[in-house]
């Protein structure tokens, strides 16, 4: 029995449409890749504007300021004064200690190995003096050529500073114009859907602000414990350190979920090593223990209460965010997961209403 032949006819119009779609998709992906940095800055500004909006509203209400731009300016000036004061207290001693350590390192190696210390005896016993001298000379050469990588680093810092200023400017404008744009978007909705959409948007807004408040609380707790530990350890080893400045570093790094305290702890341990190795080891042990406690108790508990997510979902969201978007992805992953949960619940409720 002969099987009927099946012929598929593709019109020229269909072929052209497929080609146009493929080309458009390719160009769209290339376009998004080219502006990915700008989109990151815009998204960061939008998230910061949502996070800072409660502070601006509070200032406007407490000071009886009708101008939203003026309230935003006061909030900005307050944050900048605190940030500048912190940087002025931390950066100069950090740069000075690092510079002195690098400059004195070759001489320190030679003096240690040439005395009757245990390390010196070890070098003499195994005839390692030539190798140590070679290391010291190599370090001298690297220190002489240090301006070259410093210039390269300065260029990257300059580019980062430009991006930071752009984010500050866009955040300011979003804070000033945000309520107006939100009201215009509501007016475009159908009258029957206007109020439900507003409640949904406000619910997601509260999730983001609660997340920021929770992360600030977590960072403050970590900085407080770190400050106490550094004061105690510095007194035990009789070492002068800027405990308050180091606690500020922990607080700033702690704003990044899951790995923020690890970054801050690494900075503190490295800088502590410039003054005292036993102090650095002690602080390293402290941070290792504290981070394990925070990751499984403090952070999941606080964020799960603030965002109505289970500790497991908070942990998974943070890991996925860091894996997909780095530090920024980790920072926004938890509130984004909470917003998706709100949208999904709203969608399911609408479906149930329609079926009923």
pLDDT tens across 272-294, in order? 887 788 888 999 999 999 888 88
pLDDT above 60 for 207: yes
Q: What is the mean predicted confidence (pLDDT) over 38-63?
A: 81
Q: Let me know: does 317 contact 345? Beta carbons within 8 Å.
A: no
Lookup: tokens for 37:
């940095």
d(C-alpha 318, C-alpha 325), whole Å: 10
Decide: helix, strand or coil at residue 247: helix
pLDDT reported for residue 151: 45
Burial of 183 (0-12, 13-18, 19+ CB in 10 A): exposed
3: left (phi over 0), alpha (psi -120 to 50) or beta: beta
Cα 273-275-276 angle, rounded to 5 deg? 65
Q: Is the pLDDT of residue 183 over 70?
A: yes
Q: Which range has the top average pLDDT, 84-98, 131-145, 269-283?
A: 269-283
Residues in the chain: 356
Would you state the structure tokens that stand for residue 157, as one six-digit string?
A: 């810092």
Between 88 and 278, where is the model more confident? Answer: 278
pLDDT at residue 21 tops 80: yes
In contact, 334 and 314? CB cutoff 8 Å: yes
Nearest to 275 by CA among 243, 307, 297: 243
Q: How many CB atoms lie within 10 A of CB 327?
A: 15
Which runs of consecutive H residues, i.e. helices, occur in 63-190? 68-114, 118-125, 129-144, 147-187
pTM of the model: 0.65
- Say how far apart CA 136 and CA 132 lie, in whole Å: 6
Greatest mean pLDDT among 58-72, 79-93, 255-269, 278-292 lies in: 278-292
What average pLDDT does the structure give for the chain?
76
Task: Supply the pLDDT for residue 85.
Answer: 78
Regarding predicted confidence, which is higher, 27 or 157? 27
CA dist 306 to 194, 213, 261, 300, 333, Å? Answer: 26, 8, 20, 10, 14
pLDDT of 49 above 80: yes
Q: Pick the residue with more confidence: 306 or 354?
A: 354
Structure tokens at 340: 């998706």
**90 vs 67: CA distance, rounded Å:** 35
Asked if 75 contacts 59 with a C-beta cutoff of 8 angstroms, the reply is yes
| Confidence band, pLDDT 50/70/90 cuts, at residue 125 | low
Please check whether residue 39 is in contact with residue 32, taking contact to mean a CB–CB distance below 8 angstroms: yes
Q: Rounded to an integer, what distance in angstroms lies between the CA atom of residue 308 and that of residue 314?
A: 10
* Per-residue buried b or exposed e for 206-237, using 16+ beta carbons within 10 Å of the residue's own CB: ebbbbbbebbebbbebbbebbbebbeebbeeb
Query: CB-based burial of residue 57 (10 Å sphere; 0-12 exposed, 13-18 middle, 19+ buried)?
Result: middle
How many Å separate Cα 345 from the centre of its chain? 29
């Amino acid at each position: 029995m002969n099987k009927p032949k099946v012929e598929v006819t593709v019109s020229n119009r269909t072929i052209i449409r497929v080609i146009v779609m493929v080309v458009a998709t390719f160009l769209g992906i290339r376009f998004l890749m080219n502006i990915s940095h700008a989109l990151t800055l815009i998204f960061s500004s939008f998230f910061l504007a949502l996070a800072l909006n409660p502070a601006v509203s509070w200032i406007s209400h407490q000071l009886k300021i009708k101008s939203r731009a003026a309230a935003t300016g006061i909030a900005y000036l307050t944050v900048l004064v605190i940030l500048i004061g912190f940087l002025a207290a931390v950066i100069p001693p950090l740069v000075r200690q690092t510079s002195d350590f690098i400059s004195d390192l070759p001489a320190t190696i030679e003096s240690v190995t040439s005395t009757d210390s245990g390390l010196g005896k070890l070098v003499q016993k195994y005839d390692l003096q030539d190798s140590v001298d070679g290391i010291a000379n190599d370090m001298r050469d690297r220190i002489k050529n240090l301006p070259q990588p410093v210039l390269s680093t300065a260029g990257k810092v300059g580019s980062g500073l430009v991006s930071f200023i752009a984010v500050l400017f866009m955040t300011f404008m979003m804070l000033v114009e945000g309520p107006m744009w939100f009201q215009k978007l509501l007016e475009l909705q159908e009258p029957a859907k206007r109020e439900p959409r507003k409640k949904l948007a406000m619910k997601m807004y509260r999730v983001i602000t609660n997340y920021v408040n929770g992360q600030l609380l977590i960072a403050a707790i970590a900085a407080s414990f770190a400050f106490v530990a550094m004061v105690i350890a510095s007194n035990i080893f009789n070492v002068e350190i800027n405990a308050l400045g180091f606690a500020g570093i922990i607080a700033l790094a702690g704003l990044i979920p899951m790995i923020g305290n690890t970054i801050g702890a690494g900075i503190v341990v490295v800088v502590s090593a410039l003054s005292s190795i036993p102090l650095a080891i002690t602080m390293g042990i402290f941070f290792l223990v504290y981070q394990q406690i925070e990751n499984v108790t403090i952070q999941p508990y606080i964020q799960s209460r603030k965002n109505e997510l289970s500790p497991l979902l908070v942990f998974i969201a943070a890991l996925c965010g860091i894996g997909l978007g780095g530090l920024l992805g980790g920072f926004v992953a938890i509130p984004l997961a909470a917003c998706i949960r709100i949208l999904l619940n709203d969608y399911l409720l609408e479906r149930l209403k329609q079926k009923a």
